[in-house]
């Protein structure tokens, strides 16, 4: 089957031109002026941007966490396609005392047969020991899982110590993988949480006050130092603040390359939300920060110190958030965003002239594909690449609301926000997956993506 996209403006991380795109089967066959193809379905993209499908490398679907499960599963993860994200990378969590294989099988059990969009896995190592060490190579070589997540926080649940971190880094480096990190100081946070609780300070605001900027800055510097010592390709997830960004900048100054992502909410929302009665909606870790941090994050994107804008999509229903109504430390941490990352960044970044449309493509698709071993198969519109393509109308206005979104969560962190720029059509491997809100693929169309070894370079 072939598909011909005509009259659109094709944008990659490097180019911007009026062109037609011919798709045959799952791949891009040709890009050029006035293309013709007998029997092809024609889509008129006049007035629209033709962009690579988004890649969100930080989502948590159906994840057991803080006594419950994140409310979007592999099926409702379809919401990503509505908003132009064609591939996500989800996190497997090793159970302490058990193997990586055991965790992989459990995640595969929930995922298999349920995907609409394409998906890959990061492996979170929460217990690095001699047995785990042996499995690192197996994950990379046999499973195509080439990135290993570590938590420097969530003490008593997911956190590993520096001894384990260095050991994991050495093993991952040897076999061609990357170590990625939730970089906040778990001991400091644990101390502050207990202090606030003992003082009867239990509202969501104290979630924020238990994770001051220094907890993230310190851990980010420490992680960069350990990565420098071991030489492992390194990536910091959900970087939120100036102090942590300075750790990345300091690493660059000494000739080290540490890659980093921020998330859409840290660019657009700030900590004043924690003072609201419904502040639990924005309880996530790290927490939202200050306006001065937002300014630094936009600058970090522009300067290339931050290569990726992800979501850390980890939604919980309001009834789940209410588990912490009497104690902020019991509120499941996480926030819904998988559906609106692309439209939010386009509206607030491109349309408000903070970033170019090429930079938009770079941070939402091309860099995630390059960093995580999927390029040029994914992350660009190039001859032979997967035909993961979106058509975006840069002028259409719309309003975000829990009443209209497709995520399985009963609130929106952006309720009532008006955006300019809407994803009209999402094509995944040559199939129109969603068009004007209508889903045209079936459950099970999505594939697991095995990834290549990673260099830590772009």
334 binds, among ligand URP, Zn ion, none (CB under 5 to 8 A by kind): ligand URP
Q: Is residue 202 within 8 Å of 171, Cβ to Cβ?
A: no
- Report if residue 310 touches ligand URP, rule: CB under 6 A: no
- Report if residue 314 touches ligand URP, rule: CB under 6 A: yes
- Report if residue 312 touches ligand URP, rule: CB under 6 A: yes
Among 312, 343, 348, 388, binds Zn ion (CB under 5 A): 312
- Report if residue 284 touches ligand URP, rule: CB under 6 A: yes
Segment near Zn ion (CB under 5 A); pick from 135-143, 308-316, 351-359, 366-374 = 308-316
Binding letters toward ligand URP, positions 171-210, x by CB under 6 A: -----------x----------------------------
Compare residues 185 and 285 and give the one whose CB is closer to ligand URP: 285
Compare residues 237 and 251 and give the one whose CB is closer to Zn ion: 237
284 binds, among ligand URP, Zn ion, none (CB under 5 to 8 A by kind): ligand URP
Compare residues 264 and 357 and give the one whose CB is closer to ligand URP: 264
- Report if residue 265 touches ligand URP, rule: CB under 6 A: no
Positions in 50-69 near ligand URP (CB under 6 A)? 60
* Token reading at 242: 């100036």
57 binds, among ligand URP, Zn ion, none (CB under 5 to 8 A by kind): none
Q: Is residue 183 within 8 Å of 116, Cβ to Cβ?
A: no
Binding letters toward Zn ion, positions 126-165, x by CB under 5 A: ----------------------------------------
- Report if residue 333 touches ligand URP, rule: CB under 6 A: yes
- Report if residue 90 touches ligand URP, rule: CB under 6 A: no
Binding letters toward ligand URP, positions 394-433, x by CB under 6 A: ----------------------------------------
Binding residue count for ligand URP, defined by CB under 6 A? 8
- Report if residue 182 touches Zn ion, rule: CB under 5 A: yes
- Report if residue 72 touches ligand URP, rule: CB under 6 A: no
- List residues binding ligand URP (CB under 6 A): 60, 182, 284-285, 312, 314, 333-334
- List residues binding Zn ion (CB under 5 A): 182, 312
């Amino acid at each position: 089957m072939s598909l011909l996209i005509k009259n659109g403006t094709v944008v990659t991380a490097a180019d911007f031109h009026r062109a037609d795109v011919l798709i045959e089967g799952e791949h891009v066959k040709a890009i050029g002026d006035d293309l013709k193809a007998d029997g092809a379905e024609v889509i008129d993209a006049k007035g629209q941007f033709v962009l690579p499908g988004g890649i969100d490398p930080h989502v948590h679907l159906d994840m057991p966490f803080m006594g419950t499960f994140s409310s979007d599963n592999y099926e409702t993860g379809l919401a990503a396609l509505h908003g132009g994200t064609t591939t996500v990378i989800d996190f497997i969590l090793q159970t302490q005392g058990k193997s990586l294989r055991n965790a992989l099988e459990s995640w595969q059990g929930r995922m298999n047969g349920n995907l609409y969009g394409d998906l890959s896995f990061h492996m979170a190592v929460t217990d690095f020991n001699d047995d785990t060490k042996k499995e690192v190579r197996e994950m990379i070589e046999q499973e195509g899982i080439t990135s290993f997540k570590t938590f420097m926080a969530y003490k008593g649940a997911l956190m590993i110590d520096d001894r384990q971190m260095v050991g994991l880094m050495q093993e991952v480096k040897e076999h061609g993988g990357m170590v990625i990190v939730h970089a906040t100081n778990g001991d400091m946070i644990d101390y502050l949480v207990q202090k606030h609780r003992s003082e009867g300070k239990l509202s969501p605001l104290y979630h924020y006050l238990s994770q001051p900027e220094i907890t993230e800055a310190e851990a980010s510097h420490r992680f960069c130092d350990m990565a420098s010592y071991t030489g492992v390709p390194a990536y910091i997830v959900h970087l939120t603040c100036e102090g942590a960004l300075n750790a990345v900048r300091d690493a660059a100054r000494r000739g080290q390359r540490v890659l980093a992502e921020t998330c859409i909410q840290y660019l657009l929302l700030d900590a004043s939300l924690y003072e609201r009665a419904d502040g639990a909606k924005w309880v996530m870790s790290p927490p939202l920060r200050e306006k001065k941090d937002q300014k630094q994050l936009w600058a970090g994107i522009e300067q290339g110190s931050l290569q990726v804008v992800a979501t850390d999509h980890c939604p919980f229903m309001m009834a789940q958030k209410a588990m912490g109504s009497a104690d902020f430390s019991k509120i499941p941490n996480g926030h819904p965003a998988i559906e609106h990352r692309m439209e939010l960044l386009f509206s607030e970044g491109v349309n408000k002239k903070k970033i170019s449309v090429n930079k938009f493509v770079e941070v939402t698709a091309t860099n995630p594909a390059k960093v995580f071993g999927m390029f040029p198969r994914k992350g660009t519109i190039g001859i032979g690449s997967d035909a993961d393509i979106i058509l975006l109308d840069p002028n259409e206005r719309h309003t975000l609301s829990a009443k209209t979104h497709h995520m399985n969560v009963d609130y929106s962190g952006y309720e009532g926000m008006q955006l300019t720029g809407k994803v009209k059509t999402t094509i995944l491997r040559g199939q129109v997956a969603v068009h004007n809100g209508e889903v045209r693929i079936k459950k099970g169309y999505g594939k697991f993506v095995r990834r290549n070894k990673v260099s830590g370079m772009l």
